[in-house]
Amino acid sequence: MASDRRSVAAEVFRHASPIAIAHRGGDEVAPENTVAAFEHAWSLGFRVLETDVHVTADGVLIAFHDADLERLTGRPGALADRTWDELRSIDLGGGHRIPTMAELFETFPTAVFNIDPKADGSVGRLAASIHEHGAVGRVNIGSFSDARIARMIELLGPTLSTSAGPRDTARLLLAARGLGRGPERHTCVQVPLNMKGVKLNPRLVRGLQRRGRQVHVWTVNDAPTMRMLVEWGVDGIMTDRPSLLRSTLEELEVWR
């Protein structure tokens, strides 16, 4: 399975390292996770777009990070308790609205999507949408739930590209230190610089890469850290500031 997953990784993350990943599309010109945010990142040359999904009360899969509307709109109430007709009319600012995941798949038919199913109830609908859009070969699934990732693999097959969940990330970090083997089933490890007391460093990056795992770091919004990660040789950098990441990688002559 490990060799199969690495071959899938070569296709999903086929861009030259370091891969530039637009976190929720970025928030430079429009609210996060909106079509306009993703269009901005795409216009800059980003070909890997990160997003999150929830399911509405009537079963529509939407691209949205939070479980409720409070942070972005000041409105109370869980997304899961609202219908799509209720949500589709909400203005997130500047006339921008919540998109469905189907809309994103159709608007960006060649993009790689890094998708986080934020709740157990979104897993089955996400798998169905990926299948409906023939997108298995252009998605990577990540989650803070190892169980959700495992379920996505069950639904879409062992060649689905995935990043490690919290438990498997811990096991892979131990393996990178020479302690155990770690799981074989993930394409990449997507981590912040600091993980519950464990600080990412060049040795850990190299150790993970020796085990066939790409290392993607989130969420990086300042140029000095971007430069440091390029020096470390990470495989991907995730940012809310796609213009800054592009200009920094251009300055270092590693923008592809």
CATH code for position 131: 3.20.20.190
- Partner residues linked to 163 by β-bridges: 188
| Per-residue pLDDT, 184 | 86
Least trusted range by pLDDT, from 11-20, 42-51, 63-72, 148-157: 11-20
Number of domains in the chain: 1
**Per the residue annotation, which of 15, 40, 65, 216 is the catalytic one?**
65
Q: Do 3 and 132 meet the contact criterion of CB atoms below 8 Å apart?
A: no
Least trusted range by pLDDT, from 76-85, 125-134, 151-160, 177-186: 177-186
Question: pLDDT (tens digit, 9 = 90+) per residue, 59-83?
Answer: 999 999 999 999 999 999 899 999 9
Question: pLDDT (tens digit, 9 = 90+) per residue, 195-216?
Answer: 888 899 999 999 999 999 999 9
CA distance 71 to 66: 8
Supply the angle between the helices 166-176 and 146-156 in degrees, to the nearest 10.
100
pLDDT over threshold 50, residue 3:
no
Residue 256 lies in a domain: no
Residue 54 lies in a domain: yes
Helices (H), the chain: 2-12, 35-43, 70-73, 84-88, 101-107, 123-132, 146-156, 166-176, 202-210, 223-232, 242-251
How many Å from the N-terminal Cα to the C-terminal Cα in the chain? 30
Neighbours of 120 (CB within 10 A): 12
| Maximum pairwise Cα distance, the chain | 53
State pTM to two decimals.
0.95
Cβ neighbours for 218, distance < 8 A, ≥ 6 positions apart: 21, 23, 190, 191, 192, 238
CA distances from 255 to 26, 147, 209, 227 (A): 18, 35, 21, 12
**Per the residue annotation, which of 23, 40, 54, 216 is the catalytic one?**
23
Residue 96 lies in a domain: yes
- Partner residues linked to 169 by β-bridges: none
Structure tokens, 15: 């861009």
Establish whether 216 is a catalytic residue.
no
Rounded to 5 degrees, what are φ and ψ at 224?
-60, -40
48-67 residues labelled b (16+ CB within 10 A) or e (exposed): bbbbbbbbbeeebbbbbbbe
Domain residues for 59? 2-251
Establish whether 65 is a catalytic residue.
yes
